[in-house]
């Protein structure tokens, strides 16, 4: 089972761009504090060594939640202060360390990370360890080339720019890139809201059943095209809507019963298998296949898998054959 998260390139570009502005010059270690801080919550990547299912239950929570966002930046600042003490012990005092600025930059950079992670459909758990509830921004794709272009373009221009030859400084170029990226994110948040409203409006016209769940997320690299997964009347359906054209909903051939509405769901949860996946899955659907030791249940998340898979977005568990008797097998 594979897992996915906001790509480290985006986080690194945010930290590097902040470091290219005047913020990075406020104190010694300013730039590394911003770059490392922007990636710091992803230390939970080490959970992969315990297996993909464990990682799904652990990631985007313990090191991304409110408690970690207080502790991790403080530990990062402490690490730099220890480095400074070692430097002074060796007689190196080439640049002044501003403790207040260093601590502030560590917090600023680290806080950018969970916000970016929240923006996509994968979601994150803001209140860990006090609550394991997932929150979703559903507004920016997990790997967004437009953010790469805006942030990377500003940073690269800044690296090459001089006020004499280009008329602007490196810090100004990076600032423009950051502002452009922020405006892009705000635009995507707005587009998500209006797209979600239109999808809800059309779904209500097509079916009077109440909507129990809805995800509206962007298509990769195309901000004007969106896909949706809706949980309605005990069924999961998938489709797309584009602002180019007639703006009507176009359903795919995916339609499956919502697994949480199934009589099997309590047995699935009580099985003790794939706990990480079950804590993470948002729109589960199942297919049952025979297995020598019982019945194999393939559980997929309609956000990412609309065909049977044991890769990202899917898992499989074994239940006794008598538990799933009467359920069609594929």
pLDDT at 171: 83
Identify the burial level of 197 via C-beta atoms within 10 angstroms of its C-beta, where 0-12 means exposed, 13-18 middle and 19 or more buried.
Answer: exposed
Q: Rounded distance, CA 64 to CA 95, Å?
A: 33
Residue recorded with tokens 């002044």: 96
Nearest Cα residue to 102 out of 80, 70, 69, 84: 80
Nearest Cα residue to 268 out of 297, 236, 291: 297
In the predicted structure, residue 172 carries a pLDDT above the cut 50: yes
Q: Let me know if residue 25 belongs to a domain.
A: yes
Q: Let me know if residue 194 belongs to a domain.
A: no
List pLDDT tens digits, range 253-271. 999 999 998 888 998 999 8
State whether residue 150 is helix, strand or coil.
helix
Q: φ, ψ for residue 113 (rounded to 5)? A: -65, -55
Q: Let me know if residue 252 belongs to a domain.
A: no
Q: Let me know if residue 165 belongs to a domain.
A: no
Edge-to-edge, what's the strand order for the sheet holding 250-257? 211-219, 222-232, 235-242, 250-257
The Cα angle at residue 324 between residues 315 and 122, in degrees rounded to 5: 25
In the predicted structure, residue 162 carries a pLDDT above the cut 90: no
Q: Let me know if residue 157 belongs to a domain.
A: no
List pLDDT tens digits, range 217-261. 999 889 999 999 999 989 999 999 999 888 899 999 999 999 998
In the predicted structure, residue 307 carries a pLDDT above the cut 90: no
For residue 318, what are the β-bridge partners? Answer: 296
Q: Let me know if residue 211 belongs to a domain.
A: no
Please list, residue by residue across 248-278, b when 16 or more beta carbons sit within 10 angstroms of its beta carbon and e when fewer do. Answer: ebeeeeeebebbbebebbeebeebebbebbb
pLDDT band at 121 (very low <50, low <70, confident <90, very high): very high
Residue recorded with tokens 């909903």: 249
The total number of residues written for the chain in this structure: 330
Provide mean pLDDT across the span 6-24: 91
- Examine the fold and report which residue of 124, 143, 162 is the final residue of a domain before the chain moves on: 143
Q: Let me know if residue 244 belongs to a domain.
A: no
**Domain count along the chain:** 2
Ranges of beta strands (E only) in the chain are 211-219, 222-232, 235-242, 250-257, 284-291, 294-301, 314-319
- Give the domain range for residue 267: 259-324
Q: At what angle do helices 99-118 and 66-89 cross, to 10 degrees?
A: 140
pLDDT at 2: 45
Residue recorded with tokens 């860990």: 128
Q: Cβ distance 28 to 89 under 8 Å?
A: no
Q: Let me know if residue 239 belongs to a domain.
A: no
DSSP state at residue 287: E
- Examine the fold and report which residue of 121, 143, 165 is the final residue of a domain before the chain moves on: 143
Residue recorded with tokens 């260093």: 102
On whether both 12 and 136 belong to a single domain, the answer is: yes
Residue partners of 216: CB distance under 8 A and separation at least 6 = 138, 192, 195, 196, 199, 226, 227, 228
Identify the burial level of 218 via C-beta atoms within 10 angstroms of its C-beta, where 0-12 means exposed, 13-18 middle and 19 or more buried.
Answer: buried
List the structure tokens of 99: 């403790």
pLDDT at 29: 92
Nearest Cα residue to 5 out of 141, 158, 130, 106: 141
**Mean pLDDT computed over every residue of the chain:** 88
List pLDDT tens digits, range 58-108. 999 999 999 999 999 999 999 999 998 887 766 666 568 899 999 999 999
Residue partners of 220: CB distance under 8 A and separation at least 6 = 141, 143, 144, 145
pLDDT at 5: 53
| pLDDT > 70: percent of the chain | 90
- Examine the fold and report which residue of 125, 143, 161 is the final residue of a domain before the chain moves on: 143
pLDDT band at 157 (very low <50, low <70, confident <90, very high): confident
């Amino acid at each position: 089972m594979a897992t996915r998260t906001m790509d480290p390139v985006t986080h690194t570009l945010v930290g590097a761009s902040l470091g290219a502005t005047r913020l990075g010059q406020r104190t010694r270690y300013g730039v590394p504090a911003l770059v490392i801080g922007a990636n710091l919550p992803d230390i939970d990547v080490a959970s992969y060594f315990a297996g993909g299912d464990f990682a799904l239950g652990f990631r985007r929570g313990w090191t991304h939640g409110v408690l970690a966002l207080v502790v991790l930046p403080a530990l990062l600042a402490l690490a730099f202060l220890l480095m400074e003490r070692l430097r002074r012990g060796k007689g190196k005092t080439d640049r002044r360390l501003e403790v207040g600025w260093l601590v502030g930059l560590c917090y600023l950079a680290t806080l950018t990370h969970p916000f970016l992670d929240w923006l996509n459909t994968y979601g994150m758990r803001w209140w860990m360890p006090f609550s394991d509830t997932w929150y979703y921004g559903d507004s920016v794709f997990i790997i967004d080339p437009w953010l790469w272009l805006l942030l990377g373009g500003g940073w690269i221009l800044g690296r090459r720019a001089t006020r004499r030859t280009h008329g602007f400084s490196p810090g100004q170029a990076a600032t423009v890139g950051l502002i452009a990226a922020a405006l892009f994110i705000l635009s995507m948040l707005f587009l998500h809201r209006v797209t979600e409203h239109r999808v809800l409006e059309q779904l209500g016209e097509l079916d009077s059943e109440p909507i129990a769940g809805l995800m509206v997320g962007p298509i990769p690299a195309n901000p004007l095209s969106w896909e949706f997964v809706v949980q309605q009347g005990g069924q999961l359906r998938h489709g797309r809507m584009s602002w180019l054209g007639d703006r009507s909903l176009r359903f795919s051939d995916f339609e499956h019963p919502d697994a949480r509405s199934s009589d099997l769901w309590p047995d699935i949860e009580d099985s003790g298998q794939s706990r990480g996946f079950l804590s993470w899955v948002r729109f589960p659907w199942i297919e049952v296949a025979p297995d020598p030791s019982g019945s194999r249940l393939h559980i997929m998340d309609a956000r990412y898998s609309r065909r049977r898979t044991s890769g990202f977005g899917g898992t499989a568990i074994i239940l006794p054959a008598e538990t799933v008797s009467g359920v069609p097998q594929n």
